[in-house]
Amino acid sequence: MLLASWLACGWSVRRFGVRGRWNGLAMGAAAFGLLMAAELALSRLAFGRSAAEYLRALAEPAGAVGLASQTAFAVLPWVRAGGAGRA
C-alpha cells in the first residue's frame, strides 16, 4: 500500500506543482487529516465504535503499526516535493 501511495504521491506532486519543504508538509498534513477522518468515520459507521474506542485501538500493537504506516504516508509528499534533501 505504501508503494501505491508513493507512486500516487509522485503523480500528485507533479500534477499540482508542489515544490519545497513547506508545501510538501502542508500536502502531507492535509492527506493525513483526511485519512484519519475517513478512518474514524468508517470505524463509527461499519463497527459502531466511538471516537474514544478508535483512539484506544491505535494504542494496541496492530493500531500502532497502522498509525506508523499512516505517518509514513503523510511524509511522502514532503519527500517527493524535495523537502527531504533540504531538511
Q: What is the pLDDT of residue 87?
A: 44
Q: What is the pLDDT of residue 65?
A: 96
Tell which wins on pLDDT, 45 or 2: 45
86 has pLDDT over 70: no
- Look up the pTM and report it: 0.83
Q: Write out the three cell numbers for 19.
A: 515544490
pLDDT in tens, 42-73: 999 999 999 999 999 999 999 999 999 999 99
pLDDT in tens, 3-15: 999 999 999 999 9
Question: Cα(59)–Cα(7) distance, rounded to whole angstroms?
Answer: 29
Kindly tell me the sign of the dihedral angle through the C-alpha atoms of 40, 45, 51, 52.
negative
pLDDT category of residue 21 using cuts at 50, 70 and 90:
confident
* Contact (CB, 8 A) for 81 and 18: yes
* Half-sphere CA count of 34, side-chain side, radius 13 A: 8
Give Cα separations from 35 to 26, 32, 40 (angstroms). 14, 5, 9
Give Cα separations from 80 to 18, 44, 70 (angstroms). 9, 33, 16
